[in-house]
Structure 1
C-alpha cells in the first residue's frame, strides 16, 4: 500500500500541467530536468506519536536518498539529528557486507513514543520506504546486528 501511494505521488509530481490562458494557444509547462528544492513542509512533533512524525522522517529520508550519500547510514542519522530526532534513540545497519561490498540495502530507525520510525533504502529497494512499526520484544527497532552510532 505504501509503495502504491509513493508511486502515485511520484507519478503525480511528474505530470505536465496545462496553464489556462485567454489566448487561442494554450501553453503546456514541462517538468524540469533537475528537481527544484522545496521548503520543508513537515515538522517535528515532540509530543506526537510516531505516525505524527512519519512525514518529517520520510521527508528527511527522501532528501538524503536523492544525494550521492544515498547508501551511507551516517548521512541518514546526521540528517535525522539535524531535523530534531534524538540520536540516542537511533539504530542503523552496516553500509558494507562482511566482505567489504556495498550493502544491497540499509535500514535506520528512531524509537519514538513506544514505536519505531523505520527507513530502508538501497539498490535492492525500489523506492526509499518509511514505516511506523512496533518495537521488537527486546525494545529495539531493527532486528540483527546494527552498527554503533559513535560519532
Structure 2
C-alpha cells in the first residue's frame, strides 16, 4: 500500500490482493472479499459490496465491491468471467456502487 495514496496509486495493490484471493479461492463470496481487503490494510468503513445471492435465492453471477479513497473509488468485479477492476469518481451521493448493496456488519 501507498501511505495516503490515491485510488490510482492503490489500484496495483488492490489488484494484487484480489488476484491472490481469487487464484486461491475462485468462489470467494462478498465476505471473503471484504475480509481479505481489510486484512490487507483497506478501511472497512470505506467499502461497499453487492449481495452474493439474487432476489430469488440463486447465486449472483458476479459480485461488485468497492473501496472509496478520497473522491474516487476502486471498483472490483468478480464472477464467472473472472476479475476486473477500475478507478472511477465517487457518485454525487458519496458512494461508489449503484443499486442494492449489502450491509458490511461483521
- TM-score range, shorter-chain basis? over 0.9
Contact 1:69–1:75 under 8 Å retained in 2 = no
Moved over 2 A (4+): 67-71
Q: Which has the higher contact order (CA 8 A, sep 6+)?
A: 2
Q: How many residues align?
A: 106
> Aligned residue for 1:130?
85
For residue 70 of structure 1, report the CA deviation from its aligned partner: 3.0
Q: 5+ unaligned residues in a row in structure 2: which ranges?
A: none
| Distance in 2 of aligned mates of 1:86 and 1:59 | 17
Q: Which has the higher strand share?
A: 2
Are 1:53 and 2:4 an aligned pair? Answer: no
1:1-151 matched pairs, under 5 angstroms: 44-68=1-25, 70-123=27-80, 126-151=81-106
Q: 5+ unaligned residues in a row in structure 1: which ranges?
A: 1-43
